[in-house]
Structure 1
Amino acid sequence: MTAQTYIPPAAEDTAVYGANAEPLIRRRLHRSITDRWIGGVCGGIAETYGWDPGLVRLAFVASVLLPGPQVIFYLLAWLIMPE
């Protein structure tokens, strides 16, 4: 067996690698295609961060009971977030 030599990542790969030269996971916020009820926004947030989609939906519904522009934010996210 031959010993493998560590080759540091190229300069253009510095955004992809952390301090230990381990690949970082890039999370991209998106709407869910498979787990959607209305627009897939809550399902996409849950997929992106590894959360339970039911809890994200429950948190959104609970937040709608409070005064504020939550529904407007949901509609904007529906328009802006890619599938």
Structure 2
Amino acid sequence: MSTLARPRHSRVIAGVCAGIADRFGVSPGTVRLIFLVSCVLPGPQCLIYLALWLLLPQEP
């Protein structure tokens, strides 16, 4: 497992989902699908995504 950081590869928007996928050893597509499905539920998912975009460091 790697550290939680936004990778420079396999990005779609900001690399948040790809970074989470790399950290936990799952497919980036799976994390993106889970995020999209969670967006139909009430909650702060988009705000959390934006916060992670700002707080997660970029991979060196």
Larger radius of gyration: 1
Common fold: TM-score over 0.5: yes
TM-score by length of 2: 0.90
Question: Alpha-carbon deviations, 1:28-65, whole Å to 9, x = none?
Answer: 11112101100000001111111010000000000001
TM-score by length of 1: 0.66
Stretches of structure 1 lacking an aligned partner (at least 5 in a row)? 1-24
Stretches of structure 2 lacking an aligned partner (at least 5 in a row)? none
Aligned positions of 1:19-30 closer than 5 A: 27-30=2-5
Partner of 1:78: 53
Q: Percent identity?
A: 48
Q: Distance in 1 between matches of 2:24 and 2:30?
A: 12
Q: Distance in 1 between matches of 2:50 and 2:18?
A: 14
Cα drift, residue 81 of structure 1 = 0.1
Q: Distance in 2 between matches of 1:60 and 1:69?
A: 11
2:6 to 10, 31, 43: 31
Of Structure 1 and Structure 2, the greater helix share is in 2
Q: How many residues align?
A: 58
